[in-house]
Structure 1
Amino acid sequence: MLDFYEIRKGSSMVFAVIVPIFLLLLSGYFSVKIDLLKKDQIQVLSLFVVKIALPALLFHALSSKNFQDIWFPSYFAVYAGVTFFLYAIGVYIFRKFYRENFTDASVLAMGGAMSNTGFIGTAILTLLIGASQATTYISMILIIESVMLVPTVLALAEAGLQKQAKLSDLIKNTIFTLLKNPIFLSVVLGMLCAMLQLHIPKNIDQVFMLLGQTASPLALFVIGAGLVGLSIQYVNIQSILLVFLKNIVMPLLVFLGLSYLTNVSQEMVYAGTIIAALPMPTLFGILGQVYGLNEKSLTPLVISTVFGFMVISGLIAYWW
């Protein structure tokens, strides 16, 4: 049973991590709400985070380490296994029980299997365990999400619309898209530098470090700004199911998998579980709009954002 000191310590850590995050979210929200910034200006900030700041943070952190310190196959395998297991379950449920067409089921299932790792995950883990360790755990999950899951979702969605006639065209388009993705390139190049022991000149590496330091606060600011105009309008069993899969089942499976199927450190178990408990990614809402699923994607996204922070706060209070 936890004593008073442990409870007070856990509560202090929650406040130390969650309060700054909420303040950054609120600052972004009210900046748009009172017209200090416009939505299109926020989109520019979002592009800066995704294409410059976050890649710089990942490259700086990975390239400065030894490869054996940043690559953990068992951690990668467990998280990837849970991700694709939940995605497959989601597609099956939406097809079998809710009679969604293949394209809609492929997109909706993504909400229950992917976290907002790059934006919220980077910020929370950096505050908890420092940027160096945080980027190690985050980079492997970004590979799973950006290189494996998202292309799968898009491929299946397009296959459902019968827009991709040939497998060769699909593979070519996927590779071309990945080669234009700064996050993917930064992770690959950072790991190559670590593997080959290539050292970046100090002055250049400092530039990457300074750019990377802007990633976490700007990412949270952008997420807060993006909440303006969103509302819960379409709450049904499907929305609740997606939130349950994402914020309850996914972290539970990752925790059990890392705890009992691997010999990774306790810190890695906690980090992987917290990433799995994060809210759904904003990309889920974007793809929902692209494929005409606005209400079916935006409502669970908003609920997951609120509920995800509640789950994470509980985990931080219990573990830290």
Structure 2
Amino acid sequence: MWLDVLNITAPLFILIGLGYLSVRIDLFRYPELQGTAKFVMRIGLPALIFHSIAGQPLDKVFNPAYVVGYGGGALAVFAAGWLLSRSKNRQAGSEAAVNALGVSLSNTGFIGYPLLAMTIGTGEAGQYLVMNILIENVLILPLFFIIADAAQQNGKGWRENMLGILKNLSKNPIIIAISISILIAVLKIPIPVAIDKTATMLSTAAAPVALFVIGGGLAGLKLQGKLPDLIGIAVGKTLLFPTLVALGLWLAGASERMIFAGTLLACVPMASMFPLLAMQYGHEQRGAAAMLVTTCFSFFSISLVLLVGKACGF
């Protein structure tokens, strides 16, 4: 069990380490990697979202109890992260939005799904993958963009604020990809093979490139004075989020197997895109450092949930 978990989490650390080492030995300069980060944000991740949603029969994988329970837990921890950042630490609006996203957005595709597939099988795990992608990309990410963009519209009237937010959202490649993907899935429009293969290739490239860029951002990072905040994000992501998801699923009437799946997916670190999204609002080092600390914490929360699941026969 421990070796299985390590075999899945180790590549994450290795890719981050390669990015870190490449910058430290001057194989790359970090400003050079920022162009690569734009590729991931504007091309790779939208392609991943398109590939994950557009070709899926939503009516066959949509479970109301799971969506309500997991989505409610995600919204609750997002709100808690944002309110704590704003009230206790008096942080800027965009930084509070980044913190809230960090505790509520899981790396479902690249860590959560392999873990779940290893435990309950690829077919059933795939259903949870699609539902989580919908929850994260339809609910959590747009909420983050709205709050973060609103924070950058300070000093303007509410109409100007809303116009600025809508303008930014309409140009955001991730939001565009979400909208197109859901439309195609709902209308059951067939995807040409060439487009599907292109999206698959781009989505495959997105994860390792994103992790490499994250590692490069850690080079020269100083955590002095920031570690308590980073630990707070890590605890919120790996302890509070799974607890709220489990509670939400139980209240929604989900089965024990469904509660196990949702809790495990909530335990994994934040999505690979998190530091890149933080970078868009000027918090790249905070985002990268938070992901590093959370990834370390998540090994223990994942192992605990897997051990409990094994004891329950999952």
Q: TM (normalized to structure 2)? A: 0.78
Secondary structure of 2:102's aligned partner: coil
Secondary structure of 2:162's aligned partner: helix
Whole-angstrom CA distance in 1 between matches of 2:195 and 2:278: 36
Among 18, 28, 40, the residue aligned to 2:19:
28
Deviation at 1:263, TM superposition (A): 2.7
Instruction: Indicate the residue corresponding to 1:15 in structure 2.
Output: 6
Counterpart residue identity of residue 135, structure 2:
M
Q: Root-mean-square deviation (CA), in Å?
A: 3.4
Change beyond 3 A, Cα 1:41–1:126: farther
Say whether the 8 Å CA contact 2:245–2:262 is kept in structure 1: no
Instruction: Indicate the residue corresponding to 2:95 in structure 1.
Output: 107
Say whether the 8 Å CA contact 2:268–2:298 is kept in structure 1: yes
Deviation at 1:178, TM superposition (A): 1.8
Counterpart residue identity of residue 165, structure 1:
G
Whole-angstrom CA distance in 1 between matches of 2:55 and 2:64: 20
Whole-angstrom CA distance in 2 between matches of 1:223 and 1:121: 18
Name structure 1 gaps, 5 residues minimum: 1-9
Change beyond 3 A, Cα 1:205–1:127: same
**What does 1:98-137 correspond to in 2, within 5 Å?**
98=89, 100=90, 104=92, 107-108=95-96, 110-115=98-103, 117=105, 120-128=107-115, 129=117, 133=127, 134-137=129-132
Q: TM (normalized to structure 1)? A: 0.77
Name structure 2 gaps, 5 residues minimum: none
Change beyond 3 A, Cα 1:48–1:269: farther
Instruction: Indicate the residue corresponding to 1:200 in structure 2.
Output: 191
Whole-angstrom CA distance in 2 between matches of 1:90 and 1:115: 7
Instruction: Indicate the residue corresponding to 2:301 in structure 1.
Output: 311
Change beyond 3 A, Cα 1:32–1:239: closer
Deviation at 1:137, TM superposition (A): 2.1
Deviation at 1:11, TM superposition (A): 1.7
Whole-angstrom CA distance in 1 between matches of 2:65 and 2:132: 12
Deviation at 1:243, TM superposition (A): 3.4
Question: Is 2:170 the partner of 1:170?
Answer: no
Whole-angstrom CA distance in 2 between matches of 1:183 and 1:109: 17
- Percent of paired sites with the same residue: 26
Aligned residues: 300
Whole-angstrom CA distance in 1 between matches of 2:288 and 2:200: 34
Instruction: Indicate the residue corresponding to 1:52 in structure 2.
Output: 43
Deviation at 1:61, TM superposition (A): 2.7
**What does 1:19-98 correspond to in 2, within 5 Å?**
19-69=10-60, 71-94=62-85, 97-98=88-89
**What does 1:132-281 correspond to in 2, within 5 Å?**
133=127, 134-155=129-150, 157-158=151-152, 162-166=154-158, 168-235=159-226, 238-263=229-254, 266=257, 269-271=260-262, 273-275=264-266, 277-279=268-270, 281=274
Counterpart residue identity of residue 50, structure 1:
M
Whole-angstrom CA distance in 2 between matches of 1:310 and 1:231: 25
